[in-house]
Amino acid sequence: MPYRRLPNTDSARIRALKTALNIGNETPPHKLAFSPKILPRLQKFLPEFENSIRQQKQFLSAQAQKVKNYDDIVRKARIYISHFIRVMNMAIYRGELPREIRAYYGLPINEAGVPPLNTENEIISWGKRIIEGEAQRIKRGGSPITNPTIAVVKVRYEQLLEALSACRKLREKASELVEKNNSLRKEANEIILNIWNDVEKSFSNLPADLKLDKCREYGLVYYLRKGESVATI
List the pLDDT tens digit at each of the 233 positions of the chain: 688 999 999 999 999 999 999 999 999 999 999 999 999 999 999 999 999 999 988 888 878 777 778 889 999 999 999 999 999 999 999 999 999 999 999 999 999 999 999 999 999 999 999 999 999 999 999 999 999 999 999 999 999 999 999 888 888 888 899 999 999 999 999 999 999 999 999 999 999 889 999 999 999 999 887 766 554 44
Q: Name the DSSP class of 113.
A: P
Q: Is residue 91 within a helix (H) or strand (E), and if so which, with residue range? A: helix 38-93
Report residue 39 CA to chain centroid gap: 33
Dihedral sign from CA coordinates of 210, 216, 222, 228: positive
CA distance linking residue 195 with residue 223, whole number of Å: 18
Report residue 222 CA to chain centroid gap: 33
pTM over 0.75, yes/no: no
> Which amino acid appears at position 155 of this protein?
V
Phi, psi of 113 (to 5 degrees): -80, 170
Is residue 163 within 8 Å of residue 70, measured between CB atoms? yes
Q: Name the DSSP class of 4.
A: E
Count of Cβ atoms closer than 10 Å to residue 103 Cβ: 12
